[in-house]
Structure 1
């Protein structure tokens, strides 16, 4: 008598046997896609787990909460780019005056353009959950302080005058952030002749000349 081959195990059983690292990666990939497409409020943990092909309980085992999953899937990839920039330029040797601004604009703009859905999901989350906003805000504050260090270093090296370091840093970050996130709104969906390089070059020039040619503050006022 022929002995029938054993039936394939159910999908959930197979998923449960995956390595922990593989499960995390599947959940992060699923979360990034769904948060970017539908926003924080309209994406449930059940839907993320189903798309990843794992049990919802495993999502909470690995991340603890939807807010923590959002942080790791959406917030941290953007923060890491800015942190990496700050660490590089706080330890760089002699350089041309334009180089830090060029590196910042190019790196941040390209990252946001590639992950526009992440940034839009982050801003949309601002309307729905204090946990996400407070957590992302605290993380962003840390990295902004690191970038302030780069601005201060450039101020001292190049003799810039009249800078409010915190404000200058945030205006620079905000300018690149808004331009990358709302590119199609600002330039129009038909403005295909405006290349990214042209946009980043104009951003660089605005930031460089806005800092370099600022008048010294009036100390007598």
Structure 2
């Protein structure tokens, strides 16, 4: 391609970028960032690669998001935070008309779905905080996770018929960790042929329900 033709193509590309609205640019950058963080993790992702995928310049990227940490927070943390808040609001109601057994089963199903749909994001989060803490120090924790643990512990405490066999704040964290580990690390923990997807999900549900039921046994019948 001749120099004049290349310059013309670059000018047309620049014009297309200029015509895009700020909302469109933000959305493109966030989508590209989410894809890059899922694929490469926090440490491996670069703002240059994110800008290329979003078809923007790095200068445009930094105009909207001042750092890689801010991008990670907006593309990974914020969606998780919002989804977990919705899960808490929908399935962690102490005064629900559903029985303890039914509500617990539904809650565990929804938790497994939530973790499964966001496994890549959660993996990026775990790696960033565990192995690249210095670089990710600007990234704040998922705010709704604390709300989730507090609401779950309060619900468990309200249903107890006597002294707790295990502290509710501890039990809800162990339950969450069990679902998280069995979902995020499923391919490593469960080799092919060991069990079907449905059998694994049911085993996780039974295990967590037994733990939840330690402080308030489910009604029989």
- Which of the five TM-score ranges fits, normalised by the shorter chain? 0.7 to 0.9
**Count of aligned residue pairs for this structure pair:** 205
Following superposition of structure 1 onto structure 2, how do residues 35-184 of structure 1 map, counting pairs within 5 Å?
35-88=37-90, 89-90=92-93, 93-126=96-129, 127-130=131-134, 132=136, 135-137=139-141, 139-140=142-143, 142-159=144-161, 161-184=164-187
CA positional deviation for 1:91: 7.0
2:160–2:215 Cα contact (<8 Å) kept: no
CA positional deviation for 1:51: 0.6
2:149–2:169 Cα contact (<8 Å) kept: no
CA positional deviation for 1:158: 4.9
CA positional deviation for 1:115: 3.1
Query: Counterpart of 2:4?
Result: none
User: Normalising by structure 1, what TM-score?
Assistant: 0.80
Give the distance between the partners of 1:63 and 1:192, measured in 2 at CA: 45
Alpha carbons of structure 1 residues 123 and 99: separation in structure 2 relative to 1, 3 Å: same
Give the distance between the partners of 2:109 and 2:71, measured in 1 at CA: 28
1:211 aligns with 2:207: no
Query: Counterpart of 1:22?
Result: 24
CA positional deviation for 1:134: 6.2
Alpha carbon RMSD of aligned pairs, Å? 2.5
CA positional deviation for 1:116: 2.3
CA positional deviation for 1:177: 0.9
2:152–2:172 Cα contact (<8 Å) kept: no
Give the distance between the partners of 1:135 and 1:83, measured in 2 at CA: 19
One of 171, 187, 192 as aligned partner of 2:190: 187
Secondary structure class of the residue paired with 2:43: coil
Task: After superposition, give the CA deviation of every residue in 1:114-148 in whole Å (9 maximum; x if it has no partner).
Answer: 332212211121211346356343x34x4333332
CA positional deviation for 1:42: 1.2
CA positional deviation for 1:46: 1.1
Secondary structure class of the residue paired with 2:42: coil
Secondary structure class of the residue paired with 1:90: coil
